[in-house]
Amino acid sequence: MSSSRPSDHIDSAAPDPSIAQPKLGPIGYLRFFWRQLTSMRTALFLLLLLAFAAIPGSLVAQRSSDPNGVIQYRVDHPDLYPILDALQVFNTYTSVWFSSIYLLLFVSLIGCIVPRSIHHYGALRSRPPKTPARLNRLAGYTAVNAETDAASAVDSARAHLNKLRYRTELYPSTTRDGKASFSVSAERGYLRETGNLVFHTALVGILVSVAIGGSFGYSGQRVVVEGQKFVNVLGDYDSFNPGRFFESDFLEPYRISLDKFDATYELENTQAIGQATDYSAYVTTTTPDGEDKTANIKVNGPLAIGGTDVFLLGNGYAPTVVIRDPEGTVVWEDSTPFLPQDAHLTSLGVLKVPDGLAEQLGLVGFFYPTAAKLPSGALTSGFPELLDPLLTLRAFTGDLGLDSGVPRSVYQLATDDMTEIAGSNADTPALELRPGQVVDLPNGLGTIELTEVKRFASFDIHRDPSQIWVLTFAILILAGLFTGLFIPRRRVWVKATDNADGSVTLEYAGLARGEDPRLEAAVADIAAAHSKQLGLKVEP
Amino acid sequence: MTLTLETTSLIAVYSAMVVYTFAFIAFTVDLARRSAAEPVAVAASVGQSAATSARTSVLEKTTTDAPTDGPARMSRAMRMAMGFTILGWVLHVVAVVLRGFAAGYAPWSNMYGFAITATALIVGVFLFVQFWQDLKFLGAYIVGFCLAFLGLATVNFYVAVAPQPPALQSAWLVIHVFVAILGTAFFALGGGLSVVQLLQSRREARGGEGMAFLATLPNAQKLENLAYRLILVGFVFWTFTLIAGAVWAERAWGRYWGWDTKEVWTFIIWTIFAGYIHARATRGWRGSRSAWLAIIGFAAVMFNFTVVNLFFKGLHAYSGL
């Protein structure tokens, strides 16, 4: 019906098998391939292929969302790992094969949108087409004989159709046997195609926005202990993932101090004691204009500041430890975040003391906010709040490896080249500290004190300049989908023909343009309403 | 007080399951009666030579139109089945509401709560769709499916009411999950219709041979049109689910899309149904091929809500299951 549609669209004319394919030149082949790419069948195939290609990424850990899972997979499946890695399965959604499917799909999509938009623009500016000579083969055909005048009957039909928001056009004609005939041709539902085009264009819009946002945005993580502050400069992030076109002056300078972190845990419901019910990070922010503001960052309530959003993603305990040399001089003092290992915040941490003592000292151990003993004798935490806090540390001396220039994780201690001086493999058992306690380090190295326990919060800081565009296109997708699927596009004709006996035959018929399950009912309604207007009784 | 509401909710779930069982039996009896009670059409279509195929189709047409004649033609078994379904559904909704009051929040943040809410909504959509079209012949499928899901969830995944973890304290939990279930309900109806459509078209291709109750149901073309319209509604809901999920993910996790396993499967399902809608507009893909796409799509939805929730690692891990 419309030339803008792919040839295998259900509304296009079926191909004539009697036409022989002409011999194709180079341009002919290009056109042939382009037609193939923009055909419905190809779009359908690419859609289903895309669905299928997305599956591996859900079966195997992805580097983007679960890097530790990938490392684990490498350990668990040493034979399969190199093959899958070569096939880019660990980066499914940025892999060459996944990208080529969706890029082809989008090329095919654009190849459909452009000609259809041009065609639709023309349709929007044109009048409804001429009334077909024979209506009786069309949907909802109804004919009535009436004692009326053809021209005025068609006029009133037109008025009625206009009221129903049809676009109308009058066409006078003569039938083959010379009788005068008036007809109104009406069309409605142009919004259906508009919605359809908006939907598909918005899909392209989302893809482009995501690509741009990913290139100019950045995300970073930072752990902040109560009382400490974070300044939005590159060096102050714990980890930082810039987009392709990131430049450091994208960072707007601001400062966030974590004043207090509150965690609330269930105490009454016996089925869920110790389950977290609320996390609140109370912060003070300072912007370049020198203005201080307080804010509360929650798990589902990020803070918008300086073009970024600050999310509260994690929290835990940071024991403050003071280490003194044998003379009593403080050589090290810090609140070190310990990483939570379970729901009751049994936490694992590492302290590294490179200077000030006779030897470099590394401490690794657990912090239990509420120490409890398992039947096996091992320690665990029984509750996430500080009811009976206990810090246990194994101590190692030797080379911390900090001077070799190789970056080391602050959460890991390489003990291979170190000597254990306190812990299960040493003469001295692991050091146990409660707040306020001072314990001697083995070998007369000095003393260690747990002065207090603070909370820490880990923040994700994101800047995504295209996010608002993604949202806008997403809303357009929904709006386009709604209008494109549920607004019926239909043509309706009302024709009045003078009969020899002076009466007038009124004919009503409709034509669906796209899915239109209610077309026949709509034509019947129009016929009924119009006949009623003319004071007729309709017998279909 | 909490315990009382919670226990009452559980009792209501069990009661609903009992009533649904009666409904399922009655729906099945109705299907069996349909097989036996249409002797005219069956006798005419079975055992006749090809020469009478024109007559056969005429007879079939009269019987296919029969179910649309309205409630007057409902069998006694069907009336009982619908009565039981409505009663079961009321009990079911009461169970969900009580569970919500016991918890103090929308009760679908763990597998059990999700299962009772999802099945309640699916049965609800099934009941309300009857005002639009007579799809009561899907009753055995819908009620049987919900009964099985409800039973499995109650036996295997029952957890006591627990406070809402901070990650789920969001209005988006209510919107995102609710609309996802609504979409699922429409996909379930569409998938069921597509199965019947496949059976029906096979029967039509064999000149009326096949399961006899099919003679009392709409023809394959009509079933396909109905499935398509239901799935369109489901697709709009699913699109909204995807977008609402992305908005919430942005609020909670700091990114709107991260290829988490659940996000991947929601995307896969969306793509399959987008394919289904395109298949309908592609020459050569109407009919059985698109019906298979609808069935695969609904199977993927079920996979997403069961296997992905239970066995796949991801951010959508349900608290305590």
Asked whether residue B111 falls in the same domain as residue B205, the answer is: no
In a domain, B70, yes or no: no
The count of C-alpha atoms lying within 13 angstroms of the C-alpha of B178, restricted to the half-sphere facing its C-beta, is 8
Is pLDDT above 50 for B50? no
Average pLDDT of the segment spanning B194-201: 94
Spell out which residues of chain A touch residue B169, defining contact as CB-CB under 8 Å. 278, 299-300
B183 found inside a domain? yes
Please tell me if residue B321 touches chain A, with a CB cutoff of 8 Å: no
Instruction: Tell me how far apart the alpha carbons of residues A32 and B228 are, in angstroms, rounded to a whole number.
Output: 32
Q: In this structure, are B13 and B150 located in the same domain?
A: yes
Please count the residue pairs, one from chain A and one from chain B, whose beta carbons lie less than 8 angstroms apart.
146
Q: Between chains, do B239 and A277 touch, taking CB under 8 Å as contact?
A: no
On whether both B157 and B170 belong to a single domain, the answer is no
Cβ atoms of residues A393 and A367 within 8 Å: no
Indicate if the pLDDT at residue B49 is higher than 60.
no
A146 SS3 class: strand
**Across residues B66-91, what is the average pLDDT?**
78
Contact B235 A57 (CB under 8 A): no
How close does chain A come to B80, measured CA to CA in Å? Answer: 32
Q: For position B315, what pLDDT does the model report?
A: 63
What's the pLDDT score for residue B69? 42
Domain co-membership, B132 together with B216: no
The set of long-range contacts for A94-102, using a CB threshold of 8 Å and a minimum separation of 24, is A94/A64, A97/A53, A98/A50, A98/A53, A98/A54, A98/A57, A101/A46, A101/A49, A101/A50, A101/A53, A102/A50, A102/A207
**Which residue is closest to A64 within chain B, CA to CA?**
B258
Let me know if residue B66 belongs to a domain. Answer: no
Chain B residue with the nearest C-alpha to that of A59: B312
Chain B residues touching A486 at Cβ < 8 A: 232
Of A45-54, A256-265, B55-64, B66-75, the least confident: B55-64
- Same domain membership, residue B182 and residue B133: no
Do B290 and B209 fall into the same domain?
A: yes
Residue B51 inside a domain? The answer is no
Q: Tell whether B6 and B122 lie within a shared domain.
A: yes
Of B136, B163, B190, the last residue of a domain is B163
Q: Is A485's CB within 8 Å of B236's CB?
A: yes
pLDDT-above-90 percentage for chain B = 52
Is B68's Cβ below 8 Å from some Cβ in A? no
pLDDT in tens for each of the 540 residues of chain A? 445 777 788 777 776 766 666 677 888 888 888 888 888 888 899 999 999 999 998 888 888 877 888 888 889 999 999 999 999 999 999 899 999 999 999 999 999 899 999 999 999 999 998 888 888 889 889 988 888 888 888 999 999 999 999 999 998 877 667 777 889 999 999 999 999 999 999 999 999 998 887 788 898 999 999 999 999 988 889 888 888 888 888 888 899 999 999 999 888 777 778 888 899 999 999 988 888 999 999 988 899 998 899 999 889 999 999 999 999 899 999 999 999 988 889 999 999 998 888 889 999 999 999 999 888 888 899 899 999 999 999 999 988 877 776 667 777 888 888 889 888 888 888 999 999 999 999 888 899 999 999 999 999 998 888 888 999 999 999 999 999 999 999 999 999 988 878 788 899 999 998 888 889 999 999 998 988 888 765 544
The answer on B196 and B133 residing in a single domain is no
Give the pLDDT of residue A500.
79
Contacts of A467 in chain B (CB under 8 A): 250, 256
Cβ–Cβ below 8 Å for B267 and A54:
yes
Domain holding B111, by residue range, is: 1-37+75-163
> Interface pTM (ipTM) of the complex?
0.84
Please give the model's pTM, rounded to 2 decimal places.
0.85
CA A345, B319, A260, A219 dihedral sign is positive
Q: Which of B119, B136, B163 is the last residue of a domain?
A: B163
**The last residue of a domain, from among B133, B163, B193:** B163
pLDDT at B168: 83
Residue B61 has pLDDT above 50, yes or no: no
Determine how β-strand A292-298 pairs with β-strand A339-340.
unpaired
The reply to whether B135 and B25 lie within a common domain is: yes
Per-residue pLDDT band for B75 (boundaries 50, 70, 90) equals confident
pLDDT value of position B65: 39
Q: Which of residues 148-187 of B touch A (CB under 8 A)?
A: 159-167, 169-170, 172
Model confidence band, residue B70 (pLDDT cutoffs 50, 70, 90): very low
For B254, which of A210, A313, A517 is closest by C-beta distance?
A313
Give the residue from chain A lying closest to B277, CA to CA: A44
Total domains in the fold of chain B: 2
Q: Are residues B289 and B227 in the same domain?
A: yes
Domain A139-189+489-533 belongs to what topology? TATA-Binding Protein (3.30.310)
* 8 Å CB contact between B270 and B276: no
Tell me: do B231 and B305 sit in the same domain. yes
- Nearest CA of chain A to the CA of B291: how many Å? 14
Hey, where are the domains in chain A? 26-125, 139-189+489-533, 218-463
Residue B243 lies inside a defined structural domain of this protein: yes
For the cut 50, the answer to whether the pLDDT of residue B48 exceeds it is no
pLDDT value at residue B53: 36
Residue B314 lies in a domain: yes
Distance between start and end Cα atoms, chain B? 24
Q: Do B207 and B215 touch, CB atoms closer than 8 A?
A: no
Q: CA-to-CA distance for A366 and A424, rounded, in angstroms? A: 14
Looking at the structure, do residues B172 and B153 belong to the same domain, yes or no? no
